[in-house]
Chain A
Amino acid sequence: ETGVTQSPTHLIKTRGQQVTLRCSSQSGHNTVSWYQQALGQGPQFIFQYYREEENGRGNFPPRFSGLQFPNYSSELNVNALELDDSALYLCASSLGLGTGAMEETQYFGPGTRLLVL
């Protein structure tokens, strides 16, 4: 167990709808990253938040947005869902951005599996 939890575990939505996925980081972890993992692929970086500010974004459109809260929880919001958004969404927390294995090691949650019909 990594101490990172995600909810819900599974979700079914229809095209055009909006979805909010939630993540609870390990206590004390200032950094949270979100990844999208399509079936049979490696995770793709969506964005990262550090102390409630976005700190880097991958190649995802603006309809993917996020929030990080002071209580070590965070959200991933996806608007105008498309069929290709069907994937496992993973969040990962780490102590910080800095140097050293302790700060850098990312602890992943179990993921939310999203199906868009």
Chain B
Amino acid sequence: KQEVTQIPAALSVPEGENLVLNCSFTDSAIYNLQWFRQDPGKGLTSLLLIQSSQREQTSGRLNASLDKSSGRSTLYIAASQPGDSATYLCAVRVTGGGNKLTFGTGTQLKVEL
């Protein structure tokens, strides 16, 4: 059974700092991995999707990496801003599991002025 873990559970940083969020998964037979953002009481917004054959994806100040063999992904946020404050969730789609996503419990990020 696929299990996804995110560390740390919460993080508070000053504005402008670069930061890394971590995601690990137990079964390396994944099809892809996605990072989502969730604002309080809201739905999820897809940030980046990495196919199992890829090593990283970039969008603006965000860079996500994937090391399938070690079961790890990182989300790097450059020059953090207060608007980045949200919960960040990673989710994996397993091979042969349809388009079902298995989520981690998220990292709650607060970027302070």
Contact = CB atoms under 8 A, between A and B. Distances in A.
Interface of A: 2, 4, 6, 31, 33, 35, 40-45, 48, 50, 55-56, 58, 88, 90, 92, 94, 97, 101, 104-111, 113
B63 to A, nearest CB: 16
A9 to B, nearest CB: 9
Contacts of A113: 41
Interface string B14-45: 00000000000000000110101000011111
Given A104-B32, A111-B43, A113-B41, A42 B98 contact: no
A85 to B, nearest CB: 18
Interface of B: 4, 31-32, 34, 36, 41-46, 49, 51, 89, 91, 93, 97-106
B106 to A, nearest CB: 6
Given A40-B105, A105-B49, A109-B43, A33 B93 contact: no
Contacts of B31: 104
B46 A107 contact: yes
Contact of B44 (A31, A40, A43): A43
B44 A101 contact: no
Contact of B99 (A2, A35, A40, A104): A104
Nearest to A109: B43
Given A43-B44, A110-B42, A97 B4 contact: no
Contact of A108 (B45, B99, B104): B45
A58 B100 contact: yes
Contacts of B41: 88, 111, 113
5 contacts: A31-B99, A43-B44, A90-B44, A104-B31, A104-B99
Contacts of B49: 101, 104-105
